[in-house]
Structure 1
Amino acid sequence: MPEPAFPAAALDPEGRPAWITELGAEDPHQIVHLVRDLQPREALEALGARLAHARPCTLPEERADEHSSLPRTALGETDCASALLAGRIGGWTFVFDDAGHTDSVSNEQGGLESAALALSRTGGAALSLAHNFDGPCCGLEFAEDGAEVLWTNSDDLEGSLPELPDRIREAVAAAGIVEQDHLDPGELDEEAVIRTGCVLAGITGWTSADVRAAELVLVPFG
């Protein structure tokens, strides 16, 4: 596997996109949703957020503490289930959920479906990138036009490569490997799943400065 096809400053030492690292807590349990063809407030509404509680946001320079995300620090509330931060950079809207409570949403039939599927029903593409401290380290769901294209996690990605479509395998190759002491040489690191999602969205060059320069919307959830 090659080195990740990301600019040198775009990744932290663990291979995670640095803009995600800056937003999250030190021990993250979070989801980042990415969607085309939806504006930030529309994406928040699709995820079940109450827009009456939404407000413009300027991110602080530092987290309140190691257990708090930057959005939760900006929100100043600790009793909500999640702090959701949304913005748009280029052709993609992101929604950062600092506690991972928007993994699924209610559908018109009264059941639940994944957030990526719901967001992609606009006719565009959507991805959900998850960090979990109580399961597989990282997860990825990719959907287009309301249909699942890929669901995988850091435990399953490498073993499933032979069966994946060419464009997914090409994205995994571009995501590359960041060597870690606890892994064998050449073994996919956990964050390769997150980098693969960024490659599929074409956002390998996003930086923390890009996020801070965007018009950001913040809302408590749950």
Structure 2
Amino acid sequence: MDVTAGAALGIEPGTSAALLAGRIGEWTFVYDDSGFTYDDSVTKALSADGRTAATSVYTIHADTSLTYAVGGEQVEWVNVDDLILEEHLLGMSAELRAAFEAAGNVPTEDFEPGEADGDIVMRAACALPGLALTLEDIRRILLLVVPFG
């Protein structure tokens, strides 16, 4: 079962991209099912004029990262492969550190001490605006779905 934004538009995988956008409080989110809009310049643009923006990426090759920008400038880029929580959290801004602490870590038996799980950046991106939503909350969000490409 394909549950991507493209599936909602009837787009065949690999033929185009789809964007799914919504707003929760002061935060706008965009889900890009093909990664065409991911670029550090996008995060910088989204954070222009004093705003805060974060983008989280999880590729088909399990490359996982988070870009955090404030006022049009990138403040932090977090690559999960290089993330050692005890070391890196101390160097993060207070807001980003709090988001990672709220995100928590889900270690598995093959993790090294302090190693972060691959989904931590998505949870941290959700924790930045204080998103603590149930599935019912998510189902009530008005969404805009558009083809892109």
TM range (shorter): 0.7 to 0.9
Asked if residue 179 in structure 1 is aligned to residue 107 in structure 2, the reply is: yes
Read off the aligned partner of 2:3 and give its amino acid letter. Answer: S
> 2:36 aligns to what?
101
Query: Take 1:165 and 1:88, find their aligned partners in 2: how far apart are those partners?
Result: 24
> 2:78 aligns to what?
152
> 2:146 aligns to what?
219
Alignment: residue pair count: 146
RMSD between aligned alpha carbons?
2.2
> 2:9 aligns to what?
75
Deviation per residue, 1:98-130 (Å, 9 max, x gap): 1111113xxxxxxxx521111111431111111
Q: TM-score, normalised by structure 1?
A: 0.58
Q: Structure 1 residues 168 and 70 mapped into 2: Cα distance closer, same or farther (>3 Å)? A: closer
1:29-108 → structure 2 map (5 Å cutoff):
65=1, 68-78=2-12, 80-104=15-39
Read off the aligned partner of 1:171 and give its amino acid letter. Answer: A
1:196 to 111, 124, 149: 124
Query: Take 1:201 and 1:153, find their aligned partners in 2: how far apart are those partners?
Result: 21
2:46 to 119, 142, 149: 119
Alpha-carbon contact 2:43-2:54 (below 8 Å) kept: yes
- TM-superposed CA distance for 1:132, in Å, is 1.2
Stretch moving more, 81-90 or 155-164: 155-164
2:60 to 133, 155, 170: 133
Whose RCO is larger (CA < 8 A, sep 6+)?
A: 1
Q: Structure 1 residues 148 and 191 mapped into 2: Cα distance closer, same or farther (>3 Å)? A: same
- TM-superposed CA distance for 1:155, in Å, is 1.2
Stretch moving more, 188-197 or 138-147: 188-197
Q: SS where residue 140 of structure 1 aligns?
A: strand
Alpha-carbon contact 1:157-1:193 (below 8 Å) kept: no
Query: Take 1:71 and 1:194, find their aligned partners in 2: how far apart are those partners?
Result: 17
Structure 2 gaps, min length 5:
none
Moved over 6 A (4+): none
Alpha-carbon contact 1:80-1:221 (below 8 Å) kept: no
1:9-20 → structure 2 map (5 Å cutoff):
none
Asked if residue 168 in structure 1 is aligned to residue 103 in structure 2, the reply is: no
- TM-superposed CA distance for 1:190, in Å, is 1.6
Query: Take 1:214 and 1:174, find their aligned partners in 2: how far apart are those partners?
Result: 23
